[in-house]
Structures are given as C-alpha cells and as structure tokens.
Structure 1
Amino acid sequence: MKALVYTAPSKVEVRDVQPPEPVEGAAKVKMRFCGVCGTDIGIFAGKHPRAKAPLILGHEFVGVVEEVRGGKHGFKPGDRVVAYPLLSCGVCRPCRTGSPHVCEKLRLIGIDCDGGMADHAWVDESVLFKVPDELSDEVAALVEPLAVIVRSMHQARFQILDSAVVMGAGPIGILTAIVLKHSGASRIIISDIDEARLAMCAEFGFEALNVKKESLVDYVARTTNGEGVDVVFECSGVESAAAEMTKIARVGGTICMTGIHKAPHAVDLRDLNFKELTIIGSRVYTQHEFGMSVAYALALKDDLAKIVTQTVPLTEAESVFEMIADPAVNTVKVLVDCTK
C-alpha cells in the first residue's frame, strides 16, 4: 500500500509499504482524508523528541471500516469513522486516577507508531467513533483538532458573554475563535502577523489585529477602557505572546495555554499576583471530549469547512510541507487525500 513516510529530517517519501497485519479487536480502516498538523510539521523538521524515522505520519484522519476483527464495539464494514489517537500506559498515576490523556508515557498514533497518511490502517475498535452521515469527510478530518479546542474551553471555564483574545491565527487559533463564536462570546479579538489568515478571521466576524502594525496590548487597553478581556487563549507558542498575555487579561481573568511552547519563555508573574490571574494549561483532550467533538462538528460544519484551504493527493504529498512553508500559498488547514 502507499503511505507518506517520514524518512529523515526535512524529508518525506510516498512509499509502497507492507500492509499492516490484521489485529484482533481492531478494524481495518480505509483512509479518506488526513489533516496535516503542527506536530507533523515539527516531525518533518526533525524537532519532535519521540518521532523516529521511518514513520507513517498522521493522527487527524477519517476513513471507512472495511473489516472488523472482534466486533465487540458494533462497527461494521461501510461505517465512516474517526479515531481518538492517544495511547496511554494504564499504570502511571494520571492513568490510575482518571486522567489517561496526560499519561506520563503518553504516545500518539502517527507520532510514536504509524499513522493515517496511508491507504489503510488497523485501528483498535475501542477508540473509533462513527461519523454522522451529514458530516463531510473533509470536516470529519477536523474532529481531532476540534477536540483540542473543546478541552481548552473546558479548562478555561469559558462562560457565555465572556470577552476573549485569541493569540495566533493558525488552525488551532482560528478553530478556537470559531468555537468561541458559537459558544456565545461577547467579543473575539484574534491576533497574528499573516494578512491572509487575518483576512479570513475578519470574514468570520472576528476583530483581526496584525501585531506587526499595532500593539495587541495597546489595542486591548484602548478598546476595553483599560480593563482587559475575560479570557486569553494563547495559541501561538511564541515568546512575545508569553510576555504580553498577562497584560491583556482583566483583573481576575483567565489565561489558557492552548498552544505548546517549545522552549521556556518569560512570563510577568507580578501580574499573576496583582491581578489575581488564573493561568491554566491544556494539552490534548479526554476520550469523552473527543466524542463530544464528533457531535459538535455537526453544529460547526459550515464554518469548519471554510478553514480547509488545500487538499493534496497522497501520491503527491511529498511536497506538502514545502507548500505549507511557502507564504505565497496561503494555507490554513491542509488535508491529504488518501484516496488519490
């Protein structure tokens, strides 16, 4: 079968690989689409500490069940499915106390073992979720990143009519703003330096701010009478955001670390004290939240479809990372079409 294989830093190849062996208790899933994630970009760059070549990439996939070995979970050939991709050890303290999504030895499909950018894969039935008929394959491929946002909303304890700043207009940032809009936010400010992405944000009705042209701290102060916003979602992972996020939250406000910073960055802890701020982390999602996202995607399907900006056939996917890195292409969310 064909698969997109990470072979070395800055190198992927479309290869003919040996099909995986059938697994008891698993389903053979014929892949349709697989999203390219920021984690995949990090793997491609050779910067992910766990991903080892050769590796079939992809953990944001949708496919169709072709065969079932076991059948304890009720799946049958023809079912469209998405998969909760987290692999937990089951024995560490987080696993024993009900938080396997932050397992001390957490692994993921497509990072620690072969993933979904392939013709097919065998996936444990226990992590599969059936896709509603009304949901397109392309939107279903966004269920996994949507689950990241559902988790961060829960962590932030967002309430209806809260005002929010989203720092970073990448796929996760734009998804966060979309969820905020549908959850009743009174105001959504989203910042970035990419004009094309900010233009898309403006079309959604968000206040889109180019921080190359205007200070986010000054803008928030000016437009909130110096009070700040209720919730800040830090989705950029950049050093400047860490420095500014405490300045734009109101007294008693919340900062949710949705994006993962790859290096230690300075944070003004004086603001944490003087403004009695809450800073909370958000890593991935629970299996329950992943299931919620399957249903939630139906309510958001029209907006979700708009952020899929390119699809690339699997047979031509060797150039997908160069395409994403090219500022002239204006990508937001790119999917690999595993049927071509």
Structure 2
Amino acid sequence: MKIKSVVIKEPGQLVIDEHEVAQPLAGEVRVKVQLAGICGSDVHIYRGHNPFAKYPRVIGHEFFGVIDAVGEGVSADKLGKRVSVDPVISCGHCYPCQIGRPNVCKELTVLGVHRDGGFSESTCVPAGNAHEIADHITDEMAVMIEPFTIAANICEQLKPTSLDTALVYGAGPMGLTTIQALKNVYQVKQVIVADRIPERLAMAKACGADVLIDNTHQPLKDTLSAQGILPTLIIDAACHPSILDEATRLISPAGRIGIMGFSSEPCTITQQAITSKELTIFSSRLNSNKFPLVISWLNNQKINPDALITHKFSINEVETALAVFEKDQKNCCKVLLEISK
C-alpha cells in the first residue's frame, strides 16, 4: 500500500513523496496519522536553520493518530487505540536518562528531526512513545499535547506557586501554552506577557494573562515600574539573545528565570547580576516524560488547546500551511495538518 509523506529533501526543497507503508519493528507500533501540528522547528528544518536536522527528512514531531499495526513483543490490544506520540526517543542508560532527563539523552533521537516524523499518512514509533487518549478528548486537543509538554517541562523546573508574579516574554505558541499552565495548573498570582504584536497579546489574554504589555516603543522596565510589578519568575519564550540580560535586571531577588529557546547568538550577563540577587536560571529542551502529566491536565479540563488553533490545512497544502505559519504572525498561532481521515 502506498502512503504520502512530506519530505524535506534538502533545505528549501519540499516534496510530497509516495512510498510503501512500513512495517513496525520489534517493540514498535505503526500509527495511522490523522492530525499533525506545525512547529517553528519544522520551518527551521525546511529553511535549513535547524542545526540538529539530518536530510532527507519527513518532518513533524507533533502528531496524533490510531495504531493500525504492532511489532513483535507488543500486545495486539493496542490495535485501534487513539494515541498522541512523544517524539523524544532516548537510550535509557546514560546519565541524563538515569536521573529522569531523557530529553537531553547523550544519544537523543527526535522524531521529525533525527528520524522520520509525523507529516506522513503512516509512521512507526516505539510503543512506549504512543500515549493512549481517552475518547472524550477531541483529535484537535490530542494533537496539541506535545506543545503543552514544552510548557510542562519548564514549569516543572521552575516550580511556580501562588506566591509568584510571572513575566512571559513572547505570546507565540510556547508562550501561550506556558501562560495557560501558569494560570490554570499552578495558580500563579499574576501573569504578565510582553510582546510587540497586538493580536498576539489578545491571544495571551484569551489564555489567561492578567497584564498585557506592548513593549514596541516603551522600555519594559519603565512599564513594569509604573505599574508596581516586580516579577519573581521570568520565562523567555521569545528567544532573543538580549532578553536574559534584561531579565536579570527586571526580576526580584531570589527569582527564577527559565529559557526555552535555541538562539546561537551570544548574550552578555554579569556574575554580579546573578549572585547579587541569588537568581536561579533554568534551561529547557523538549519534554522529559511529560505526556502523562499533560494528558491529566486535559482530562481534568485545566488547559484549553483550542484557544491556540487558528488554521487547518490538508497534507497537500503543506507548503501553504508552512508559509502561513511563518509569515502571518498577527493572525496565525497553531496550524494543523489533516494527514488522513
């Protein structure tokens, strides 16, 4: 049987390829992919700006579908199960894996980056990476689990509480999922979001942000001071190299800073800025076994993924979908691809 896959042959060259459906290996399941989400890293692979990608590559690491085949050693009871797939594949025995951080495994493999991913009508994945989804969870919500695991990962490190005043830089998908987690899961006292696109700030308000700041023309420090706001927790979901330095100056003593980005540009901060306030700085990559946690959030209606979904295209419209995601920052947040029915 022939299936379609979105393949980046090399940077800038995308094709919809047809090939024979694969059979799952021992310990794997085959997923008939129904929906997939577009992430910034997919665009970066397409454009040749992702340092981790290997070509040619079937992209897509946010995807949901139904198990239609199992490999040796996997129970046939899994056939027909609706699943959301964790793209993080780890070795299980290196130091990071042993201390519960498989997302930075020494032999890390990420579906859609190092190994073919979910922009395909069918794909094979390790059985343990396919997480069953209850029938009351819609397909659209299920495909959004992976983006929320990114928020879960940084929050589990920062350990927000009701005492915190949080400042989130950036109201893109990472920022918006984090805002929902801070407000609805961790009950943070106040969430402030800074962005330079009014439409994105409106999305942040819909996700629960208490204070919206457009820092296009006025320094963020001046706005925060005028409103008497002293953040105890700052999350950089905009990933600009200038933010970390500013964050160390804006934050309260004993505050925590979380970095969610991958900028390769250098930034300059002083030891004094960190030690004088005894700040703690965390970095976060992907997710560390956070699928069960986010699924519990969904089951308990603590998050609303639908608030982020703005566009939906078919797999045959993938180039248009990528272009909309990349260029329409005012109206576009999360773009879904309908892979198969």
TM norm structure 2: 0.92
The aligned runs of 1:112-127 (5 Å cut-off) are: 112-127=114-129
Match of 1:184 in 2: 187
Measured on the aligned residues, the alpha-carbon RMSD in Å equals 2.0
The aligned runs of 1:230-241 (5 Å cut-off) are: 230-241=232-243
Consecutive unaligned residues of structure 2, counting only runs of 5 or more, are none
What is the rounded CA distance, in whole Å, between the counterparts of 1:241 and 1:140 in structure 2? 32
1:263 positional shift: 2.5
Match of 1:331 in 2: 332
1:19 aligns with 2:21: yes
What is the rounded CA distance, in whole Å, between the counterparts of 1:249 and 1:141 in structure 2? 35
- Equivalent residue of 1:239, what SS? coil
What is the rounded CA distance, in whole Å, between the counterparts of 1:126 and 1:229 in structure 2? 39
Letter in 2 for 1:199: A
- Equivalent residue of 1:20, what SS? coil
1:158 positional shift: 1.0
Q: Is the 8 A contact 1:68 1:75 kept in 2?
A: no
Q: Is the 8 A contact 1:166 1:190 kept in 2?
A: yes
- Equivalent residue of 1:291, what SS? helix
- Equivalent residue of 1:65, what SS? strand
Q: Is the 8 A contact 1:94 1:103 kept in 2?
A: yes
Q: Is the 8 A contact 1:73 1:125 kept in 2?
A: no
What is the rounded CA distance, in whole Å, between the counterparts of 1:278 and 1:74 in structure 2? 47
Consecutive unaligned residues of structure 1, counting only runs of 5 or more, are none
What is the rounded CA distance, in whole Å, between the counterparts of 1:239 and 1:328 in structure 2? 20
Q: For this pair of structures, how many residues does the alignment match?
A: 337
Match of 1:293 in 2: 294
Distance 1:25 1:243, change over 3 A: same
Match of 1:104 in 2: 106
What is the rounded CA distance, in whole Å, between the counterparts of 1:96 and 1:302 in structure 2? 30
Q: Is the 8 A contact 2:67 2:80 kept in 1?
A: yes
Match of 1:200 in 2: 203
Q: Which moved more, 1:89-98 or 1:258-267?
A: 89-98
Distance 1:87 1:162, change over 3 A: same
Q: Is the 8 A contact 1:65 1:79 kept in 2?
A: yes
Q: Is the 8 A contact 2:23 2:30 kept in 1?
A: no
Letter in 1 for 2:334: K
Match of 2:223 in 1: 219
1:74 positional shift: 6.7
1:96 positional shift: 4.1
Distance 1:205 1:76, change over 3 A: closer
- Equivalent residue of 1:237, what SS? coil
What is the rounded CA distance, in whole Å, between the counterparts of 1:213 and 1:150 in structure 2? 32
Which one of 154, 157, 171 corresponds to residue 155 of structure 1? 157
1:313 aligns with 2:298: no
Q: Which moved more, 1:109-118 or 1:190-199?
A: 190-199
1:71 positional shift: 5.7
Letter in 1 for 2:191: I
Distance 1:329 1:205, change over 3 A: closer
Q: Is the 8 A contact 2:103 2:286 kept in 1?
A: yes
- Equivalent residue of 1:48, what SS? coil
What is the rounded CA distance, in whole Å, between the counterparts of 1:234 and 1:66 in structure 2? 40
What is the rounded CA distance, in whole Å, between the counterparts of 1:142 and 1:231 in structure 2? 25
1:205 positional shift: 4.1
1:322 aligns with 2:326: no
1:229 positional shift: 1.0
Using the aligned pairs only, state the percent identity: 29
Distance 1:45 1:215, change over 3 A: same
Letter in 2 for 1:185: V
TM norm structure 1: 0.92
What do residues 178-210 of structure 1 show as CA deviations (whole Å, max 9, x unaligned)? 111102111111111122111211233422211
1:238 positional shift: 0.5
What is the rounded CA distance, in whole Å, between the counterparts of 1:127 and 1:244 in structure 2? 38
Match of 2:280 in 1: 278
- Equivalent residue of 1:17, what SS? strand
Letter in 2 for 1:208: L
